[in-house]
A and B are shown apart, each in its own frame.
Chain A
Amino acid sequence: MKAVGKAIPHESAVEHVTGRALYTDDLLWYGHSPAAYAAQRARFPDLLHAWPVLAPHAHARVTAFDPSRALEVPGVVTVLTAEDVPGVAQASHHQDEPLFPAEVMFHGQPVAWVLGESLEAARLGAARVHVEYEPLPALLSIEEAIAAKSFLAGPLRLGRGDAASALARSPRRLSGEVRIGGQEHFYLETHASIAHLDETGGVMVHASTQHPSETQEVVAMVLGLPRSQVTVQCLRMGGGFGGKETQANPYAAIAALGAWKTRRPVRVRLPRHLDMALSGKRHPFLGRYEAGFDDEGRLLAARIELYSDGGYSLDLSEPILWRAMFHSDNAYFVPDLEVTGYVCQTHKTSQTAFRGFGGPQGMVVIEDLLDRVARTLGLPPEAVRERNFYQEGQRTHYGQEVKDAGRIHAIWSQLKASSGLERRRAELAAFNASSPHRKRGLAVTPVKFGISFTATFYNQAGALVLIYRDGSVQVNHGGTEMGQGVHTKVLQVAAQSLGVPLEHIRIMPTRTDKVPNTSATAASTGSDLNGAAVHQACEILKERLAPVAARYLECPPERVRFEEGRVFPEGQPERFVPFARVVETAYLERIPLFAQGYYRTPDIHFDKGKGQGKPFHYFAYGAAVSEVEVDGFTGEYRFLRTDILHDVGDSLSPLVDRGQVEGGFVQGLGWLTLEELVWDAQGRLATGGASTYKLPSWSELPEVLEVRFLERATEPGVIYGSKAVGEPPFMLAISVREALKDAVAAFGQGGVVELDAPSTPERVFWAIEKARAEKEAAAGEVPLRDGARPVHHGD
């Protein structure tokens, strides 16, 4: 029985369903009995709670600061300010995120933190801190930033050929523009950290972070300590999605600073409305494009400009923009392609990593472009898409060969057949012809997503595997568990590799004192990198154990096999000895029973100056067909059906992979349809709570959702032939956005549809009104006199 490839539940599933799975903030209370309510805090006696003093301006200078009245509030212990910082008062190594800013850069930015015996005391204290501000002009949109030339980075350039002259030579040309909204991560568990001084005077931080090593780095920087004095543990996260890649760091730093100052444990936990007000989001983008093409819709040239809204500080905005530019081709070969990108600086939260990391925004633009080409020519969009796919041997605009480009074609044809695309196109046309007030739309879109951190040095991972004398095993690795199943996959890799049952292996919480200098669990690479590192450690241990076993089994060491806790000569499983006995013998023979593993992704490189290289180890492929129905009275819609075919290589863990595909798709669908970030004129996030910012719920799950994996898809050079799966499926949801456009077009004459994202019912409604007006104008009809005032688009 193989451990790898088995459809097992998440390794913590039983803990999840019983409520026993602990998250950072649970550590405060877990283990109490109801009788012990509030009587003591068993794990962290004397714990203090932190609450921020929030700036009420998007941009302002702090002109006066007086915390003295806060200290009069019963239960307030102290107010943390820059003066308390022994090291550097910054939350980022870019040095552009002051923990206690003198210049406020976004609405709600904390300028100080109050520590109290209770959360209520800290909050009441924060309200009493006296701060005076001099408001300054604020930039709140990409357009304002462009006009003010306010950029954090750019122009970044990537391209091939000479787009300008190729455009000029093209028989047909068009241009367009699309605005793409950001997205709140809305991990169910908000940011949380608990810091305390340990028994040896070191700083211990429990944090909900995707990057414990960077959290450690920031805490050490703030406290002016060597990193060896700081330990960060991430037990598990209640969701991350990129939102805890860098943005957990300020809260860990505040907790650690508070603990350092007061010598008491300090807890920082953001309630939802603070988490939404303070933490960065997916970058909103503005995409502008020009395309040259022929009468069959073949792209000849394209020029794409991407502007991202980075918010106030750099954070990860530059690599995110790079990834958007790397994915501006999606699955299509554009002979002459020029992509230019800027990160706009605005007075908003510092926008950050979010599943896809810019890739989704890059792909939305090229898909919008192709849809426009198709509708301009009156061709089916799926035919135009197919016509432009990469062929084997072709290279991307940054010079990387599109390995396995044939998979795009294979997925496309298999999916079209399995989803009954042609038949459903006909049915849909018939439905629309007989339905004046409800129209259906259908679209197919592909995904080609590059796997690897584009910052090459992050593509490394370490592991530490410990075997105890009874044969039980502890596995430590640098990956953090946020629900994506990295621990489950690593468990399966370790069990397979060591040849022991899954139950004999314990995956340990991620800690910086077990595996140092780890990379963020991000870029979909968690299982690729950490799985490979764990695998290497297990192979080293087996190599050491094999000679010991060989003596028992009287066979050459290279013929020793390890499976399911049994060690036996190849081909003679009945002659097994238990794994534990081999381990005990090895111990007595003074063989080390622990090993480190290490992995670095081979043969990747990228030259930013030239815009050329091989930034990705491989590409993950997929495609989706989505069908929607739109209400012509209101612009509301329903998701009728989605069929997905996705390439996960040889799945390490099919249940986990299916979960990633479906969950990523629905999250992408939310981003492109109902999740709307609205900032008011003061720069305050107006959709800053669960009642105003709407995630997909049951009503957004497509009525039919068919998910399949591409078969015979082994990926050589990746752990057990698997492929990364965390991010790529997110972009399958672009099919939903394109299907909505298809439905809108059906209200008119099938022509070009301009629809910004997210495609809220309101935006869809205005697009329908425009389509209807065009149809009526073309038919020479007098528009219905329904008392409508002239239509002004909402935004």
Chain B
Amino acid sequence: MEFVLNGRRVQVENLAPQTTLLDYLRASGLTGSKEGCAEGECGACTVVLVREGPAGTEYRGVNSCLLFLPMLAGQEVYTVEGLAQGGKLAEVQAAMVRHGGSQCGYCTPGFVMSLFAEQYRPDRGAEFDLHALSGNLCRCTGYRPIKDAALSLGPAPDDAFKARLREPAPALGPAVYESEQGRFVRPGSLEECLTFLALHPEAKLVAGGTDAAVESNLRYRRWELLVGLEAIPELRVFEEHADALEIGAGLSLGELERRWKGAPQAVRDLLPLFASPLIRNSATLGGNLGTASPIGDSPPALLALDAAVRIAGKDGERVVPLAEFFKAYRQTALGRGEVIVSVRVPKPYPTHSRFYKVAKRRMDDISTVAAGFALELDGAGRVARVRLAYGGVAATPVRLFAVEEALTGQPWNASSLWRAQGMIAEVLKPISDHRGSAEYRLRMAQKLLEKFYHETAHTEGVPR
């Protein structure tokens, strides 16, 4: 397999398919990219891919520790070593120097790459979006000088990097990579994928890789066969139907964030809180559902929106309501050889919806408790329809149907709220762990509903 690295074509062979791009870069002498955590939390390994985005070709920052090397087949990568041209620092580099943005310097290459991607983003506004840097951790500076460096940046200069964006990004096509240690196959269509999976149901599915690579890096899981889902057009749809929005399971959360204009409030709450921008650039909605973590971020929001999952296998397609998709801890309704094709969010969207996430850190943390709520009131201020969904309070993401039922038809007032909170204490039995105690989780389940109540009780039926 081959890809383009800092403008030069490179060939890869005889390496294990689970070799990460980061390990490859470092062992190739490009030691600027650093390993700080090997799980996509610190961003010290950030590189950019040249990809097709909603506004054309763009540089997309990703964690190189979470990319298996064969996933790069046919792609184009720039690392920190590729930025300074002809001995002249790129603007982002010069800004970091000028503002004292580096101390120990270990996180700096990652910041430089995130700054670079944002400075050259084609649909970037006038002001630098600091959220673009929230996937990079710095232990030395306290961030202020990096913030000033970022805010000092004007539009991208008209240079070779800008010129590159006027050309199309490399197309992701089918690919096969094989070495002694295993095989990576990237089908080019859904049919091809399902046919292949029918023969190899044991294959590990990899979309963005942000989950699989963590298992590989930290828990040393090894798979003989990886099937990449990134080149399947059917998984990349984004279609508005009259009764629903259909979101391809293979769309990255970052793409979703930028494409889903007019999303319900719960989704607008969710997306900025979902991991970091670097993760969102790779991670997919299908992956977040398929991994079925009880503390995944998207399930509570999507459950509240009454979403359903379109699943395809060799015997055809089926649509499963998300509320029936999660079967047990990390188990789903997905059968052997099946893939999630898309997620359908029914329309019209609820008048009131919210997503809340309680965590130790405000951004880029894993939730202690997350909640998705949706509410429809009738003309008399009674609950016409309500959906209450939670993560972090049970072995799977859950909908509280009994509480929803009890609230329906009741006035949306304090006594209804208290009754609902009382019921929540009856039905939820969360556990204690390092993120929070069982008592706190339960109180959060109650208190988040109270917060939702306070945010919706006195409005006039219009979404915020």
- B interface footprint on A634-666 (CB within 8 Å = 1, 0 otherwise): 101010000000000000000110110011111
Give complex CA distance A92, B434 in Å: 32
- Known: A22-B31, A189-B104. Contact between A789 and B448, CB under 8 A? no
Q: How many A-B residue pairs have CB under 8 A?
A: 296
Within 8 Å of chain A (Cβ to Cβ): is B108? Answer: yes
> What's the least CB distance linking B65 to chain A, in Å?
10
Check A690 against B39 for contact (C-beta < 8 Å).
yes
- Nearest B-chain residue to A18, judged by Cβ: B84
Which residue of B8, B140, B435 is within 8 Å of A239 (Cβ)?
Answer: B140
> What's the least CB distance linking B343 to chain A, in Å?
25
Tell me the residues in window 767-795 of chain A with beta carbons closer than 8 Å to chain B beta carbons: 769, 784-789, 791-795
Give complex CA distance A525, B142 in Å: 21
- Known: A17-B89, A36-B29. Contact between A662 and B422, CB under 8 A? no
> What's the least CB distance linking B358 to chain A, in Å?
5
Check B134 against A188 for contact (C-beta < 8 Å).
no
Tell me the residues in window 405-423 of chain A with beta carbons closer than 8 Å to chain B beta carbons: none
Give complex CA distance A23, B33 in Å: 11
Check A789 against B89 for contact (C-beta < 8 Å).
no
> What's the least CB distance linking B122 to chain A, in Å?
23
- Known: A238-B105, A659-B103. Contact between A18 and B418, CB under 8 A? no
Check A791 against B439 for contact (C-beta < 8 Å).
yes
Check A705 against B450 for contact (C-beta < 8 Å).
no
Q: List 23 A-B contacts (CB under 8 A).
A: A16-B105, A17-B94, A29-B28, A31-B29, A34-B28, A37-B27, A185-B139, A237-B104, A239-B140, A272-B35, A483-B140, A484-B103, A634-B444, A655-B100, A658-B100, A701-B144, A762-B368, A786-B417, A787-B424, A788-B421, A788-B443, A791-B443, A795-B437
Check A786 against B434 for contact (C-beta < 8 Å).
no
Which residues of chain B have C-beta atoms less than 8 A from A680's C-beta? 434
Tell me the residues in window 682-704 of chain A with beta carbons closer than 8 Å to chain B beta carbons: 686-687, 689-692, 694-701
Give complex CA distance A712, B79 in Å: 46
Check B34 against A13 for contact (C-beta < 8 Å).
no
Give complex CA distance A454, B421 in Å: 56
Give complex CA distance A291, B421 in Å: 43
Give complex CA distance A10, B104 in Å: 9
Within 8 Å of chain B (Cβ to Cβ): is A294? Answer: no
Give complex CA distance A674, B439 in Å: 19
A239-B139, A765-B443 known, 15 other contacts, Cβ within 8 Å? A9-B100, A10-B102, A10-B105, A15-B105, A17-B101, A18-B84, A19-B30, A271-B35, A483-B106, A484-B103, A692-B434, A697-B137, A698-B131, A698-B143, A699-B361
> What's the least CB distance linking B369 to chain A, in Å?
9
Which residue of A14, A26, A185, A663 is within 8 Å of B103 (Cβ)?
Answer: A663
Within 8 Å of chain A (Cβ to Cβ): is B451? Answer: yes
Check B440 against A794 for contact (C-beta < 8 Å).
yes
Give complex CA distance A697, B26 in Å: 26
Which residues of chain A have C-beta atoms less than 8 A from B417's C-beta? 786
Check A14 against B89 for contact (C-beta < 8 Å).
yes
Within 8 Å of chain A (Cβ to Cβ): is B96? Answer: yes
Give complex CA distance A680, B432 in Å: 11
Within 8 Å of chain B (Cβ to Cβ): is A397? Answer: no
Within 8 Å of chain A (Cβ to Cβ): is B107? Answer: yes
Within 8 Å of chain B (Cβ to Cβ): is A187? Answer: yes
Check A636 against B439 for contact (C-beta < 8 Å).
no
- Nearest A-chain residue to B8, judged by Cβ: A34
Tell me the residues in window 30-52 of chain A with beta carbons closer than 8 Å to chain B beta carbons: 30-38
Check A662 against B133 for contact (C-beta < 8 Å).
no
Give complex CA distance A245, B96 in Å: 29
Within 8 Å of chain B (Cβ to Cβ): is A69? Answer: no
Give complex CA distance A754, B102 in Å: 38
- A interface footprint on B318-356 (CB within 8 Å = 1, 0 otherwise): 000000000000000000000000000000000000001
Give complex CA distance A633, B449 in Å: 9
Check A19 against B80 for contact (C-beta < 8 Å).
yes
Which residues of chain A have C-beta atoms less than 8 A from B105's C-beta? 10, 12-13, 15-16, 21, 236, 238, 483
Which residues of chain A have C-beta atoms less than 8 A from B448's C-beta? 633-634
Which residue of B28, B364, B425, B433 is within 8 Å of A686 (Cβ)?
Answer: B433
How many residues of B are counted as interface, with CB atoms below 8 angstroms from the partner's CB atoms?
101
- Nearest A-chain residue to B83, judged by Cβ: A18
Which residue of B100, B106, B436 is within 8 Å of A23 (Cβ)?
Answer: B106
Which residues of chain A have C-beta atoms less than 8 A from B420's C-beta? 787
Check B28 against A37 for contact (C-beta < 8 Å).
yes
Within 8 Å of chain B (Cβ to Cβ): is A761? Answer: yes
Within 8 Å of chain A (Cβ to Cβ): is B76? Answer: no
Which residues of chain A have C-beta atoms less than 8 A from B112's C-beta? 17, 19
Give complex CA distance A206, B5 in Å: 30
Give complex CA distance A788, B366 in Å: 25
- Nearest B-chain residue to A687, judged by Cβ: B434
- Known: A9-B98, A37-B27, A786-B422. Contact between A633 and B450, CB under 8 A? yes
Give complex CA distance A57, B48 in Å: 42
- Known: A16-B105, A38-B15, A674-B361. Contact between A32 and B89, CB under 8 A? no
Which residues of chain B have C-beta atoms less than 8 A from A14's C-beta? 89, 93, 97
Check A437 against B454 for contact (C-beta < 8 Å).
yes
Within 8 Å of chain B (Cβ to Cβ): is A207? Answer: no
Interface of A is mostly: loop
- A interface footprint on B407-441 (CB within 8 Å = 1, 0 otherwise): 00000000001111111110000001111110110
Give complex CA distance A656, B220 in Å: 40
Give complex CA distance A148, B37 in Å: 37
Give complex CA distance A789, B440 in Å: 11
- A interface footprint on B164-188 (CB within 8 Å = 1, 0 otherwise): 0000000000000000000000000
Check B139 against A186 for contact (C-beta < 8 Å).
yes
Check B27 against A29 for contact (C-beta < 8 Å).
yes
> What's the least CB distance linking B381 to chain A, in Å?
20
Check B28 against A36 for contact (C-beta < 8 Å).
yes
Which residues of chain B have C-beta atoms less than 8 A from A12's C-beta? 102, 105
Which residues of chain B have C-beta atoms less than 8 A from A9's C-beta? 97-98, 100, 102
- Known: A690-B42, A788-B443. Contact between A19 and B102, CB under 8 A? no
Which residues of chain A have C-beta atoms less than 8 A from B109's C-beta? 16-17, 19
> What's the least CB distance linking B233 to chain A, in Å?
31
> What's the least CB distance linking A504 to chain B, in Å?
20
Check B434 against A32 for contact (C-beta < 8 Å).
no
Check A701 against B143 for contact (C-beta < 8 Å).
yes
Which residues of chain A have C-beta atoms less than 8 A from B143's C-beta? 666, 696-698, 701
- Known: A31-B29, A32-B27, A188-B137. Contact between A239 and B434, CB under 8 A? no
Check A662 against B450 for contact (C-beta < 8 Å).
no
Within 8 Å of chain B (Cβ to Cβ): is A678? Answer: yes
- Nearest B-chain residue to A701, judged by Cβ: B143
Tell me the residues in window 88-138 of chain B with beta carbons closer than 8 Å to chain A beta carbons: 89, 92-94, 96-98, 100-109, 112, 130-131, 133-134, 137-138
Within 8 Å of chain B (Cβ to Cβ): is A20? Answer: yes
Which residue of A13, A633, A664 is within 8 Å of B102 (Cβ)?
Answer: A13
Check A787 against B444 for contact (C-beta < 8 Å).
no
- B interface footprint on A188-219 (CB within 8 Å = 1, 0 otherwise): 11100000000000000000000000000000
Within 8 Å of chain B (Cβ to Cβ): is A59? Answer: no
Give complex CA distance A662, B444 in Å: 33
Check B437 against A794 for contact (C-beta < 8 Å).
yes
Which residue of B39, B44, B362 is within 8 Å of A636 (Cβ)?
Answer: B362
- Nearest B-chain residue to A639, judged by Cβ: B362
Give complex CA distance A698, B361 in Å: 10
Within 8 Å of chain B (Cβ to Cβ): is A80? Answer: no
Check B31 against A30 for contact (C-beta < 8 Å).
yes
Which residue of A22, A123, A638, A765 is within 8 Å of B362 (Cβ)?
Answer: A638
Check A698 against B363 for contact (C-beta < 8 Å).
yes
Which residues of chain A have C-beta atoms less than 8 A from B444's C-beta? 634
Within 8 Å of chain B (Cβ to Cβ): is A485? Answer: yes
- Known: A38-B27, A273-B218. Contact between A695 and B137, CB under 8 A? yes
Within 8 Å of chain B (Cβ to Cβ): is A367? Answer: no
Which residue of A484, A655, A786 is within 8 Å of B446 (Cβ)?
Answer: A786
Which residues of chain A have C-beta atoms less than 8 A from B15's C-beta? 37-38
> What's the least CB distance linking B357 to chain A, in Å?
9
Most chain B CB atoms below 10 A, which of A29, A659, A690, A786: A786
